[in-house]
Amino acid sequence: MVEGTTHSAAHLHCPESGERRCLTLTLPGSDAETRKVIRQLRQMLMARNLAEDTVHTTELVLAEVLNNIVEHAYAAGPGPIRLTVSQHPGWLDICVQDQGQPLPEELLQGSPLPEPEHHTQDLPEGGFGWHLIRSLTQDLHYRRTAGQNLLSFRIALDSRRVASGLETKPRQ
Amino acid sequence: MQIESEQSGGALLLRVMEPRIDAAGAIGFKEAVRAATARPGSPVILDLSRVEFLDSSGLGALVAVLKLLGRERPLELAGLTAPVARVLRLTRMDSIFTLHANLPGTPALPQTG
């Protein structure tokens, strides 16, 4: 994808032939497999000398995205997930594809977080995942096409650009 | 999931011995805490100093434990690592839990709970 392209179809940062990639993998959707892949990814990002904040952001967002696919898109049974991470100057483009149930699009828009003064027994035990994804990514886009879910987003490499939740000192 | 427990003063200190509380470990975490809190002690203080990764499923498990223990037995969190503190802050759950900057007291020899 060309940075700066405004055509809506270009908003999905999914790989095209010839694009520089640092990782493409296909995994069977399960919690245990997700954990394994996330740990591998963490090691790979660390090896690229990315800031610890960036590595944690990527690890957390991908854990949320993959868990969501396993629990919802593939609720009826496991299926393949294709994950592509490409590194650019200043950001990572990440694209996740699956062949499961469509994503309810309201999840991308977001619902409010529980208010802290709520009674403890009323607190939700779920629903935090999409909030984390939205908080920690830029350029989040979803498309359903040909029976596939495509979700793409960017993660800034400069930790100072990461929204709230920023760790205090960016490491070089 | 392995959790060590220790009574410290009136409190029950639970030490999470695993580096991750995530989707794959959330149910095991809840079960281990439920078993460990069969011992008396209040508040229940969770030592999270060995936990380097918490996702929304792990956070949901923490909330579930908070609710399970009820109002009479507050759940407090201690020893938060930077990634865990960040997830609590981003979800504003840092205002729900009582957080301890440091671990309470000097831990005695660990006991398996």
Best mutation target, B29, B56, B95, to test chain A (most A CBs within 10 A): B56
* Contact between B55 and A125 using a beta-carbon 8 Å cutoff: no
Give chain A positions within 8 Å (CB) of B89: 164-165
Q: Does residue B56 sit at the A interface (CB-CB below 8 Å)?
A: yes
Contact list in A for residue B95 (CB cut-off 8 A) is 116
pLDDT of residue A11: 59
pLDDT at position A172 is 40
pTM of structure: 0.83
Q: Which residues of chain A have pLDDT under 70?
A: 1-23, 29, 111-112, 114-118, 158-172
Q: What span, in angstroms and rounded, lies between the C-alpha atoms of B86 and B90?
A: 6
pLDDT computed for residue B113 by the predictor? 45
Q: How near does any CA of chain B get to the CA of A148, in Å?
A: 24
pLDDT recorded at residue B94? 93
Rounded to an integer, what distance in angstroms lies between the CA atom of residue A73 and that of residue A68? 7
Predicted confidence at residue A170, as pLDDT, reads 41
- Residues A32 and A107: their CA atoms lie apart, in Å, by 24
Residue with tokens 């939205």: A134
Closest residue in B to A42 (Cα) is: B53
Low-confidence stretches of chain B (pLDDT < 70) are 104-113
What per-residue confidence (pLDDT) applies to A78? Answer: 84
Q: What is the pLDDT of residue A5?
A: 34
3-state helix, strand, coil in chain A (%, to 5): 35, 25, 40
Q: B78 and B104 in contact (C-beta within 8 Å)?
A: yes
Whole-angstrom distance, CA of residue B9 vs CA of residue B20? 28
* Cβ–Cβ gap A67/B23 under 8 Å: yes
Contact A85, A94 (CB under 8 A): yes
Measured CA to CA, the distance from residue B42 to residue B29 in angstroms comes to 19
Q: Does A169 touch chain B (CB under 8 A)?
A: no
